[in-house]
Structure 1
C-alpha cells in the first residue's frame, strides 16, 4: 500500500538525519578533550571535518532511498504522503527544526525546483520548538545576594566540568571580581532576586572555551562571556570578562569559525542566546553553533518574509565592480547577493569551479574574524518585477548562464549571500582623520591575522575589504585567495642600470606564486595620508622577510593566538594578584 511505502521512506530519511546528528554531537563533544590536551591541530581538523558531515549524510540517505525504493516523480501522491508521515515522527523529537531541514535537503537533491513548495517540503516549519527542553536543564542559576559574588564566581568555574586544573583559580576569581567592580557602579541597586544564569555547555572554538551567561537584575539583563584559555605548561586560566551586547556579538561574528557546542536541544540554546544579541537573528545564531544548514534555511524564510513586506527594488551593490562576481543588494535588507560571472576578462585567470573552491576553502578554514562567511544557494526564485533595469541588464550581459526567467520570476541557479558591509575604498574616501587611522590600522591587522591563519588574500586592493557596523575590516573577495605557505615572497632585485629603474616597465620577472611585498606601497598607498599611517603602523608588511618568517612559523606547526576581543580587555597585572598573560596578535 502507498501509505506503507510513504511511511518507510519517511523513516529512512529521519534515520539519516538521526545518524547525522549523532555523529555531529560526537565530534562536537570531543572539543572538551581536544581543548584540555591542547591538541590544536586536531581542533582545526575537527572544525573542518564537521562542516562536511551534512552533505555526506545527505548523499548516504539518497543512495539508500534509491537502493530500496522505486522513487517516482513527485507529482505522484506518494510524496505528499511522505511529508505527512515524516511530520508524524517529529512531535516528540528534540531537533525537529533540523530534521525538517534535512528532509528538504534530501527532497531538493532528488527533484526539480518546480516542486519546492510547501506541499512537498517544509518551506515553513510545522513543528514548534518553543516547548522543547533537554532532559538536563541547559543552564544553571546562581544567587549572589544569597551566596556572595566570590562564591558564585568560584562555582561558575568549578561547574565548567573541565578536568584540567586551573593554574591559579583564586587569582582568576579576583580578576573577574575586579572587572565587575570596574564596569558596574557600586551604587547600582541589586534587586532581591538578582541572578547569574549560565549555559551548561561550554562554547569551544580554536584555542578557547567560552562560558556564556547573563546577569538578571529585575527587568535588566546583561550578557557576559568568560573566555578560558589553556596554558599548555601550567593549566587553565581565565583570560577576561566580556560584557554587553557588542562584546558578546563580536565573538559570535559572521567572520568567525563556528563554535563547538554539544547540545541535545539546539533550539533551547538559541532561545537563550537571542535576548543577549537581539540584532542577530535565529539564522545567524544557529550558524554560529555549527548548524549552518538550518541557519541557511531559516535565513531564506526571513528573506521571504522581508520580500512580502517591502517594496524597494534589488539594485547593483555600491562600489567598484569586480571582475569575477556580479553583486547586488536590496537596500532595505542588510545582505548582498553574489553571482559568478560567465566570463572573466584578462588578466584574470580563473574558472567558475576554482571560484567555488575558494569559497569552500573559506567555509572550511578558520576565518579569524577577518573573512566573511556566506550561505550558498541553488535555484533561488526572485520576483522579476523587483529588479531595477540597470541590475537586470548587468545580470543578462554578465551572468546569463546563471539566470533564467520563468513567468514573473527570475531564477538564479547559483549564488552566495553575505552580510553587507561598506566597501573599504568608499569608507576611506569620506573618512575624517580619526576614522582614517582606525580603518588603516584595521586593514593592516586584518592582513596580519589572515597571515597568522595561513591565508594570503592575493588582491590587497581596498575594494576587496569591507567595514562592518562595528568598524571592523573584513576581507570578502576570494578569487585570488591562497594559502600563505604556497607563496614565494621575494625582494625586488636591483635594476641592471638607472635607466631601467626609472622606466615604466619592470626589469624583473615573476613566477605564478611570486609576491613582491615592496610593490604594495606603489599600487596601494597612492594617497599620502594613507601611506604615512600605513608605514607607521604596518611597515613590516612591505618587507618580504616578515612574510617568510610567518611561513616558517606556520610550517613549524605553531598556531597563533588570535582573540575575538580587544587586547585591552585581557586581564593585565594591574595589581600583584592578577596573572600576566601573553600578548598574542592585536585584535
Structure 2
C-alpha cells in the first residue's frame, strides 16, 4: 500500500509539472503571433505573466497533495519511496532536469529546511541530459560552400516560419552578404565542410526576433545572431519584417543574452539540447545563466546553487564584505573567487529611508517582471541558505549580526541566511571612476547617462543616481543594481527649481522651495552628482538634457501614449540602416 501511495504522489507531482510546462510552451509558442502583429503591450504582458506560472503551478500541486493524501513527516519511509518512484518516471522524459527542480519546489513548500538534502530532494541531478534530443531536431545545417552564401541566407530566413513577409528580402540578403564578407573568413580559408548550424526556432524578446546559430569552420565555432525587426508600417506604407544587423563573436552574443536583459521566448521541447547548443558559443556563461535567459529561471536558480556548492568544496577563501560604500538598505558580501555578490535586507533602515522590508522585496520583484533593457541586474532570490560559518570573515560576521540579525539563524557549524538575493558581481561605478583615466571616464559616463535614458524609455526612474548604485560589467557596460528607491517614471513629478525670493537664499544651506514625495528637480543632479570637474565636463557634453525637466516630461508623455521606445542590445552603428526602409524600427531590451 505504501508503494502504491508513493507512486500516486510521484505521479501527481509530475502531472503538476506537466501542466506547468504545457502552459509555459503555450504562452511561449504565441510569441511569433505577437511579434508579427506588433502587439507590444501583449508582448510585455506575456513576459510578466509567464514568470508567475511556476509558483502558481507549485501552489496548485501542494494544495492537491494536502487535499488528496495523508502526508506524513518526511522522515517517514513514504517520502524516500516517493522520490524513487519519481525517478522511475523520468528516464524517457524530455525535461527531466526541470521536473526534478519542480519536485524540489513542491517538497520544500511542504516541509522544513532541515530536510533539504539529497535523501529527500534532488540536490544533485539524477538524470543526465547530455544526450537528450527532441523528436524534431533543434537546429538545421546549411552548407554555403556547396550552395552559395546568398542562397543559404535566403533559405535560413525562409526556414524560420515567419508568416509576415519581409519588406525587401533581396536588400536584406545583400546587407547580410556584405556583413558576412566583413565578419567571416575569406572563402579560401574555409574548411571543406564549412557549415552554418542554425537553431530551428527564433528567440523572441520585446520587439525583436533573433535567429541564433554558429559557423563551424573546422575546429572553430563562431557564434552569430541575426536580429529580425517588424517595420509595422505607417503613413499608408505596408508593414513587414527586415534584418537589422548581423552580430558575431562571443562578446556580441553574450551581450544579447546578458543577465541585465529580459528573458527570451523560445519554444522548445528539450531545453537541455538548446542550452547545450548555446554553451560553447558563450564560454563565460554557465548553464544557470543560459537556462535563465530562455525563461527557465527556476531551474537556472537550482543549477546556480549546485555550482555554488561545488565552488565551496573546491575553494578556501573567505566570504568578505563587498568593496564599496555600504548601503542603507542592504548588507552585501562576496566570495572573492566567485563572481557573484550576496545581498541581505537590513533589519532597520536609517533616515531618510522610509520603507519596509516588504517594500524592498516588491522592488526586486518589479525588476524581475519588468523589461530590464540591458541596464538592470537580474537576481536569484533564495530562502534559508546554509553557509559554512568558518568561511565568513570576522568583519562580515560583525556586519551581519549588527545589521541583519533577524535574517540569521545558527545550525551547528552553519550560518543560515533566511532570505537573500544573489547577483553578478560588478565593479561599483564610483570605485571605477576613482582610478579611471580620461578615456575610461568618458566611456563610463557615456554608459552611465545612456543607462539612465534607457531606463527612462522603459518607464523606470532609478530614484538614487549616485555612482555607487551602478556597476561596470566585464564588457564595460554600466548597469543599475540598487533598487530601493526605484519607481515608475510616470509616477514622478518633474519640476523646475523656482526662482529664489531673495538672492541671499541661493547661498543658504536649506533650499527655499518645498518638495512633495514624488517631486524631482533634475537641475539638482549636477550639484549632487558631478562634484569632480572632469566628470562634470564629460556629462554636460554627453547628457546635458538629463538636467532639463522638460526632457523627462516628454519621456513620460511618450510612455503614456503607449509608445515602446527602441533600445537595442548592440551599438547603433552596427545596424544596417538600409535607406529604402521606413525607419520606424523595432527594438529589444
Taking structure 2 as the reference length, the TM-score comes to 0.98
Give the SS at the match of 2:262: coil
For residues 243 and 271 of structure 1, what CA distance do their matches in structure 2 show?
19
Per-residue deviation, 1:187: 6.2
Q: Which residue of 2 aligns with 1:217?
A: 217
Mapped contact 1:312–1:331 kept (Cα < 8 A): yes
Per-residue deviation, 1:184: 3.1
Q: Which residue of 2 aligns with 1:182?
A: 182
For residues 351 and 586 of structure 1, what CA distance do their matches in structure 2 show?
34
Mapped contact 1:341–1:398 kept (Cα < 8 A): yes
Superposed, 1:313-332 pairs within 5 Å as 313-332=318-337
Per-residue deviation, 1:572: 3.1
* 2:454 counterpart of 1:454: no
Change (3 A) 1:98 1:170: same
Mapped contact 1:572–1:580 kept (Cα < 8 A): no
Q: Which residue of 1 aligns with 2:63?
A: 63
* 2:166 counterpart of 1:166: yes
Superposed, 1:373-522 pairs within 5 Å as 373-522=378-527
Q: Which residue of 1 aligns with 2:37?
A: 37
For residues 180 and 74 of structure 1, what CA distance do their matches in structure 2 show?
59
Mapped contact 1:520–1:542 kept (Cα < 8 A): yes
For residues 458 and 240 of structure 2, what CA distance do their matches in structure 1 show?
24
* Deviations, residues 117-174 of structure 1 (Å, cap 9, x unaligned): 0000000000011121111000000011111111000001011100000000000000
Q: Which residue of 2 aligns with 1:231?
A: 231
Give the SS at the match of 1:381: strand
For residues 352 and 586 of structure 1, what CA distance do their matches in structure 2 show?
32
Per-residue deviation, 1:183: 2.2
Mapped contact 1:517–1:542 kept (Cα < 8 A): yes
Mapped contact 2:244–2:577 kept (Cα < 8 A): no
For residues 130 and 583 of structure 1, what CA distance do their matches in structure 2 show?
39
Mapped contact 1:132–1:268 kept (Cα < 8 A): yes
Q: Which residue of 2 aligns with 1:549?
A: 554
Q: Which residue of 2 aligns with 1:143?
A: 143
For residues 414 and 85 of structure 1, what CA distance do their matches in structure 2 show?
32
Mapped contact 1:286–1:294 kept (Cα < 8 A): yes
Q: Which residue of 1 aligns with 2:78?
A: 78
For residues 321 and 483 of structure 1, what CA distance do their matches in structure 2 show?
25
Q: Which residue of 2 aligns with 1:245?
A: 250
Give the SS at the match of 2:189: coil
Mapped contact 2:231–2:584 kept (Cα < 8 A): no
Change (3 A) 1:586 1:63: closer
Taking structure 1 as the reference length, the TM-score comes to 0.98
Per-residue deviation, 1:396: 0.4
Per-residue deviation, 1:405: 1.2
Aligned length in residues: 584
Mapped contact 1:567–1:586 kept (Cα < 8 A): no
Mapped contact 2:230–2:242 kept (Cα < 8 A): yes
* 2:361 counterpart of 1:356: yes
Q: Which residue of 2 aligns with 1:193?
A: 193
CA RMSD of superposed structures (Å): 1.2
Q: Which residue of 2 aligns with 1:133?
A: 133
* Deviations, residues 56-89 of structure 1 (Å, cap 9, x unaligned): 0000000000100111110111101100000000
For residues 500 and 145 of structure 1, what CA distance do their matches in structure 2 show?
76
Mapped contact 2:569–2:588 kept (Cα < 8 A): no
Per-residue deviation, 1:109: 0.7
Mapped contact 1:153–1:173 kept (Cα < 8 A): yes
* Deviations, residues 294-324 of structure 1 (Å, cap 9, x unaligned): 0000000000000000000000000000000
Mapped contact 1:449–1:585 kept (Cα < 8 A): no
Q: Which residue of 1 aligns with 2:570?
A: 565
Per-residue deviation, 1:421: 0.1
Change (3 A) 1:435 1:78: same
For residues 207 and 584 of structure 1, what CA distance do their matches in structure 2 show?
5
For residues 187 and 265 of structure 1, what CA distance do their matches in structure 2 show?
35
Per-residue deviation, 1:115: 0.3
Mapped contact 1:377–1:415 kept (Cα < 8 A): yes
Superposed, 1:282-321 pairs within 5 Å as 282-321=287-326
For residues 7 and 586 of structure 2, what CA distance do their matches in structure 1 show?
56
Change (3 A) 1:10 1:185: closer
For residues 564 and 187 of structure 2, what CA distance do their matches in structure 1 show?
44
Per-residue deviation, 1:189: 1.0
Change (3 A) 1:443 1:470: same
Give the SS at the match of 2:303: helix
Superposed, 1:100-111 pairs within 5 Å as 100-111=100-111
* 2:375 counterpart of 1:370: yes
For residues 433 and 342 of structure 2, what CA distance do their matches in structure 1 show?
23
Per-residue deviation, 1:585: 9.0
Give the SS at the match of 1:258: coil
Mapped contact 1:566–1:586 kept (Cα < 8 A): no
For residues 186 and 124 of structure 1, what CA distance do their matches in structure 2 show?
46
Per-residue deviation, 1:185: 4.8
For residues 187 and 298 of structure 1, what CA distance do their matches in structure 2 show?
41
Gaps of 5+ in 1: none
* 2:534 counterpart of 1:529: yes
Mapped contact 2:230–2:585 kept (Cα < 8 A): no
Mapped contact 1:445–1:586 kept (Cα < 8 A): no
